[in-house]
Structure 1
Amino acid sequence: LEEICSRHTREQPLTDIKFSPDGRYVATTCLDGALDVYDSLVDFDLIGTASTRGGAGLTHMDWSADGMFIQTDNTVREHQYWDALSVLEKVDGEESLSRVEWATWTCVYGWSVMGLTPKFGEAVGINACCRSNKGEVLAVANDFGLIRLFRFPAPYQGCKHKRYAGHSSLVTNCRFTFDDKYLISVGGTDRCIFQWEHIPD
């Protein structure tokens, strides 16, 4: 592997990094609350930056399928939208964006994943989620060593799901492989990387 570019823009840890669907732009989220976008065709120059109110750390991020919007989660359980074409201007009116098609879905908040929380409870202990590339299944990693599988979207609290145990305690992240045949999960305490075979119903 050959290093193409190196940047040191933030002092706090980065929590997510994703290319735009067309491969031109790279967006990063940081625990200092910053969302940065770089242009991969111009030596990865920083072309836009935005910050959350009060400096709440950003935790998850996805591009829309057309590359026009970015959605983010933060540490105070806010789900926000940003206009990627106007140098990351915050977009209000969540309902108007509820039908936007997203290239990926790894945010743990939002219209399509409201069912991750129990019917009478809060979204505590949810560390990560990942929609399959075919858009049919959502995998969720939590503090209790479980991987849960939902049908996607899961818009209602208390959606039915299946549970799979393996990690000793909290699971920090999970991602489907490109062909959806496997799910990779990472344990925070046991420091194990699990490979799960995904067998569709």
Structure 2
Amino acid sequence: MLQERKKTARHEKIMSSLDELTYATRRQLQVINNLSGDRNAHRILHDMERDRLISSIRKEQKIYYLTNTGKQQIGSSQAELKQSWVTHVLMRNDLYIELGMPGDWRKEVPAKINGEMLLIPDAMFTRNGESHFVEIDNKQKMQTNIEKIKKYKKLSDAVFGQLNHTPTLIWYSLSDIRKEKLKSACERYGVKFKIY
């Protein structure tokens, strides 16, 4: 009986993390949920798929998501999933892990100035009392990224005026050429940044 309760609690923890992450690889779930070795993680996720709590799609590797049964079990209000989001979401998850899984990580929360929405960062968090905004660069037009950087400059000035610190804009890109363009644009508009 105790073993069954532990198993249910572990499954619910994994489903809750999938509710937050939307999509995740085995490795991401393994790290975030402390599932120890590869074999153990594979066994647990296989059991959850068999019980129809989660399902998967295959790209270069298995990518997991919550089923309707899993959503009901944990009371998820997750919207319908779109496969076009997969790469973007997996990149955001990788950055979340790379940044040490910030406790106040929030995804896609509107950033407002004087009550007016300026933009929606892919994620945001604070570290050492300073705001950090996250943007995932995945197949987005560079001009769109530059427009975002201009908006982040306005946001940065507002944050400095209210909280007396300059926030950091964190970019995650897989292209060296695009990283250079993002760096150049951030420097040109005077935005404090970091690129992964």
TM-score in terms of structure 2 length: 0.31
Structure with the greater relative contact order (CA < 8 A, sep ≥ 6): 1 or 2? 2
Larger helix fraction of residues: 2
Q: TM-score, normalised by structure 1?
A: 0.31
